Chains A and B, each alone.
Chain A
C-alpha cells in the first residue's frame, strides 16, 4: 500500500495533500503569505495524525518545484528533502503550471496556464484537456508579456496567477478575453492537485527521484546574475 504526501509552497498558499494510492485522504490549503516555514510542520503532523498514520508510512512524496516564488519553492523542497532523508523516500517533482491546468481540467480543449514572472515576463505552459485528464503540450517556459499576447491566441482557456503580486499588469490585456480565469476566481487546492498529479504517476518509475536529485526549477537567473549578464552583453 502506498501513502502519498504532497506539498505545495510555490504560491501565497500553503497546500498539503494526502493520498492512499490513488484515493484522496486529506487536503489542506490556506493563505499564509510569507509564513510557509512556520506552518508546514504542524500542518503535516496534523494531517498524518488525523489519518492515523505516522511519517514512516509515507512511501511517496510529491512537491511543487516551480516555477513560482523562489523562497517559497525552497521551503517546500528543503522540507521535502529533510522529510525523505532518513528513509530514502522517493519524490516526484510537480510543475506549478501543471497544477493550474489540473485545477481547470473540466474545461475541454487547449488550456494555457501562466504565472507572472515579474520584470514584464510570464512563465507559461500549454495543455490539452478532455474534461477529466490533462495532457501536457510543451515544457514550462518563460517569455515576455508581449510574446504572451500571441501565445494565447490558439487557446480555449487561459488560467493566470499573479502569485500575490498586487501591482501585476502583465495579464491586464486579458480582461476582455471570454475564457480567461485568474486563479482567484475559482477554488484551487494546490496541495491536493499536486498529490493528485503524482498519484496518477505512481507506476511510472522515471518520475520518482531521490531527494538529492530534486531542485527548484526557477526558470530564471537571480537578479544579480541577470544584471551582470545584461552589462556583459551591452
Chain B
C-alpha cells in the first residue's frame, strides 16, 4: 500500500511517499525566508509553501519508480498550525484527492510527531509515553493506541523550542536559535556560577512553563555590558539549556511514576538537541527512543505513517479546517 504524506503546518514544506511502513521518499524544504524577521511570518510561510508544494511533489515522484496514480491514500496535516500555511497543503491534497479518487485523511500534527518515532522503532509497542517538544508545542501524552491519546501535561505559556528561539534572539543568535544555543552551551562542561530556575507548575499535574525562564535570562543580561555577555555567552546558554532539560526530564520522570509506563518516546524539533537526548538517555536508559534528527523536525513521512495507521484502524477523517484543534 502506497501512502502520500503532505505537511505544511509551519515553515517546512514536506511531501513523502511510504510503502506500507517503509519510507520511500521524504522530501523536505525548510523555508529560509524568515531569519531576517526573527521568527516565522505566517504570510511569508504561506506564500513559500504554495511556491514549493507542486515542485517538491514532482521531485519526490521523479526520484522513485512510483507514479502518482499508484498511491492508495493521501494523508495531510490539517491541524494545529498556521491557518494560511495549513490551507496550502490541505487544498493541494484535496485537489489530488478529487482527480485521483483515492481516500484522504486529515492528521493532527502532534499525532504525526508521535508516529515519527515508530518509523525507525517499529518494535516500540503501545502503550508508551510521548514527550512532544517543538517550537510550537511542549506536551506529554500517554499513547494507548492509534487514535487514542491522553494528555498528561502541556506548557501553560511558551513552548520549549520557542524559549530557545527567544533566548537566542536576546543573545544575538539568528532564528532558529536552537542549534546555536546547543553549540554555544557545549563549550562549557558543567557550569554552576550561573543558574536559572526550573519551573514546576503544580504537583497535581505535569504542566510546563518556560516563560519565566525566558524572563529570568532577560533580567540576567539586562544590566550586563556587551563584554560580560560575550565572555559568558556559553555559560548563559548552558544554564538556560540545563533548566529546560531539567524541567522536561523531571516531568517525564513524574509521568513514568504516575502511569507506571516505562516506554518513552522523545519527539519534535527540540528532540534534535543532543544534550537533551543524552540527559534523558542517562536517566531513562534503554526505555527511551528517539527518531533520528531529520525525522524530529517537521516532515511528511510521519504524517503518512499516522495516516497509514488510521487507515488500518478504519479511522480516516476528512480534513477539517480547525488550526487550533488539540490532539
Contacts and interface: CB of A to CB of B under 8 A. Distances in A.
Interface of A: 35, 37-38, 40-41, 44-45, 54-56, 58, 70-71, 74-87, 211-212, 215-216, 218, 222-225, 228
A28 B44 CA distance: 31
Given A55-B101, A74-B46, A82 B88 contact: no
Contacts of A70: 43, 46-47, 84
B204 interface: no
A153 B237 CA distance: 63
Interface of B: 36-37, 41, 43-44, 46-47, 50-51, 53-55, 57-58, 68-69, 83-84, 87-101, 319-321
B321 A37 contact: yes
Contact of A87 (B46, B84, B94, B99): B99
A218 B89 CA distance: 19
Contact of A37 (B54, B58, B94, B98): B94
Given A78-B89, A81-B95, A86-B100, 11 more contacts: A40-B91, A45-B98, A55-B101, A71-B87, A74-B87, A78-B53, A86-B99, A212-B55, A212-B58, A222-B44, A224-B43
The A interface is mostly helix, strand or loop, or mixed, namely helix
Contact of B51 (A55, A84, A215): A215
B46 A79 contact: no
A10 to B, nearest CB: 14
A75 B83 CA distance: 11
15 contacts: A37-B87, A40-B91, A70-B46, A71-B46, A74-B47, A74-B50, A78-B88, A78-B91, A81-B53, A82-B96, A83-B96, A85-B54, A222-B44, A225-B44, A228-B36
Given A82-B92, A224-B44, A38 B37 contact: no
Contacts of A74: 46-47, 50, 84, 87-88, 91
Contact of A82 (B37, B47, B83, B93): B93
B41 A85 contact: no
B96 A215 contact: no
Contacts of B89: 78
B40 to A, nearest CB: 10
B217 to A, nearest CB: 25
B226 to A, nearest CB: 24
B37 A224 contact: yes
A55 B98 contact: yes
Contacts of A35: 321
Contacts of B88: 74, 78
Contacts of A224: 37, 41, 43-44
A218 B84 CA distance: 14
A82 B43 contact: no
> Lowest 10 A-B CB distances belong to which pairs?
A82-B95, A78-B91, A222-B43, A83-B95, A55-B99, A82-B96, A79-B95, A82-B92, A78-B92, A224-B41
A57 to B, nearest CB: 10
Contacts of A216: 47, 50
Contacts of B100: 86
A70 B98 CA distance: 23
A212 B89 CA distance: 15
A52 to B, nearest CB: 16
Contact of A81 (B41, B54, B68, B87): B54
Contacts of A58: 99
Nearest to A55: B99
A54 B44 CA distance: 36
Contacts of B321: 35, 37-38
Contacts of B69: 86
Contacts of B91: 37, 40, 74-76, 78-79, 82
A61 to B, nearest CB: 10
A224 B94 CA distance: 29
Nearest to B51: A215
Q: Most chain-B CB neighbours within 10 Å: which of A54, A77, A79, A212?
A: A79
B98 A83 contact: yes
Contacts of A38: 320-321
Nearest to B69: A86
A86 B96 contact: yes
Contact of B50 (A77, A83, A228): A77
Contacts of A54: 101
A86 B96 CA distance: 7
A86 B4 CA distance: 13
B70 to A, nearest CB: 11
A70 B84 CA distance: 9
Contacts of B43: 70, 222-224
B95 A80 contact: yes
